[in-house]
Chain A
Amino acid sequence: MVEYRIDRRTGVATYLQIVQQTKQALRLGLLEPGDKLPTAREVVAATAINPNTVLKAYRELEREGLVEARRGLGTFVRKSLGAAPADSPFGAELADWADRARAAGLERDDVAALFNSVLDTHFKGDQG
């Protein structure tokens, strides 16, 4: 089960935050096929956002084929995203790399900038 954190200050539309956080959870393996997403009622009771926003986000996820709404039962994950759960070898390699960067004296911001620039060159055209 995921729990959504809505940040009103980012300027990112609320429904997009839900979409992104769901995808993040799918990528990290926190959500797997067959898992149930929280109901709109549960989400809005915790976040106090408009119910239609949650529904809009779920419809977006459904259109991308990531989840499916089963009438009267709820919204369920159809497929997972990416092949990089947190405990995959890539994760371990990245952690290893981060350790070395830190030992070499890089600051957190340096690492983030470096990582983002690599992302930008290697995944040009893809969107997050």
Chain B
Amino acid sequence: MSDTAMAAAGLGKRFGRRKGWALRECAFRLPAGRVCAVVGPNGAGKSTLLAHAAGLLRPTEGTLTVLGTSPAAARERMAYVAQDKPLHPQLTVAETLRWGREMNPRRWDRAVAERVVADGALDLDAKIRVLSGGQRTRVALALALGKRPELLLLDEPMADLDPLARHELMGTLMADAAEHGTTVVMSSHVVAELEGSCDHVLLIGSGRVRLAGPLDDLLTAHTLVTGPAADLDGHTVIESRTTGRQTTALIRPGGRLAGTWQRTTPTLEELVLAHLRSPEAPSLHLDSDDADDPAEPVEAAV
């Protein structure tokens, strides 16, 4: 198995000649076994990126490989849950799972799919059309996890869910990742929803990759400094605000920090917001250090 779950090089997508670029010059590498958050504002290109990975869109330029091959060739080994969670409304929950089995005869894991449904206390004989948003999401997730994907692509999976359903489904998702080592890529425009769950971040703004890398590395590469207004030469300033005599800035330290700055590590949300507010700030790509990565994380603990 390839240790790269997803990699893009010069990826660009334009819908029609007259419209602008939905994605442009995207390059990143996502190691296998990660839980990756694709964050950015609405319309930034998150869904477009995921649809490319799912093999539903053809790049206008550049390439995107998943699991070491083309998305079409990796079809069986990955699962994709679209933002609106399409399901056949006339089928029951049980029939939907059977549908999954028939559509994935070589990979279907009935026990996994049934457990995801059972965790939500869903009525197996209920028709999809009568389910609530959260229940529908759970069935869509059961369909995706029942395929035992090596790569799971989720487009805004938690949108329109209440906090309880959100927490439950994220728990289900993380449990599956823990058990099977699934690489999870999920997009969201609500950053707080992903903090704690993801360990890898891809920030997309206006169709470009602004930040890419392991979450911890990205956070430690930045410092939130507060102090009397002073020179920040030598450091990359992402965003800086001065009120009276006090300056607050998010920087990428380029060496020792002179002066009397009070410094803290930013949260993911602070990091994301600062980059989105400063579209001209340089992007940062950190490749993950796989040596530190738990190569066989899960067996040891399960």
Q: Which residues in A have some Cβ–Cβ distance to B below 8 Å? A: 6, 8, 14, 39-42, 44-56, 58-59, 69, 71-72, 74-75
Quick one: which of B167, B195, B298 contacts A51, CB cutoff 8 A? B298
Q: Compute how far the CA of A109 lies from the CA of B171 in the bound complex, rounded to whole angstroms.
A: 36
Known: A40-B178, A41-B175, A44-B171. A72 touches B299 (CB 8 A): yes
24 residue pairs bridging A and B, Cβ less than 8 Å apart? A8-B192, A8-B195, A39-B178, A40-B178, A40-B297, A41-B179, A44-B174, A44-B175, A44-B177, A45-B174, A45-B175, A47-B174, A48-B170, A48-B197, A50-B197, A51-B35, A51-B177, A51-B297, A51-B298, A52-B294, A55-B294, A55-B297, A55-B300, A59-B294
B20 nearest CB across to chain A (Å): 35
Contacting residues of chain B (271-302) with chain A, CB-CB under 8 angstroms: 294, 297-302
Complex Cα distance, B175 from A42, in Å, reads: 7
Q: A54: which B residues are within 8 A, CB to CB?
A: 178, 301
Residues of B within 8 A of A39 (CB): 178, 301-302
Is A46 a contact of B171 with CB atoms below 8 Å?
A: yes
Q: Which of B167, B172, B196, B298 contacts A50 (CB 8 A)?
A: B196
Which residues of the other chain, A, contact B178 by a CB distance below 8 angstroms? 39-41, 44, 51, 54
Interface string of B213-250 (1 = CB under 8 A from A): 00000000000000000000000000000000000000
* Interface residue B198 (Cβ < 8 Å from any Cβ of A): yes
Residues of B within 8 A of A69 (CB): 300-301
How many residues on chain B are close to A (CB under 8 Å)?
Answer: 25
Expressed in whole angstroms, the minimum distance between the Cβ of A41 and any Cβ of chain B is 4
Task: Please indicate the chain A residues that have their CB under 8 angstroms from the CB of B167 in the complex.
Answer: 48
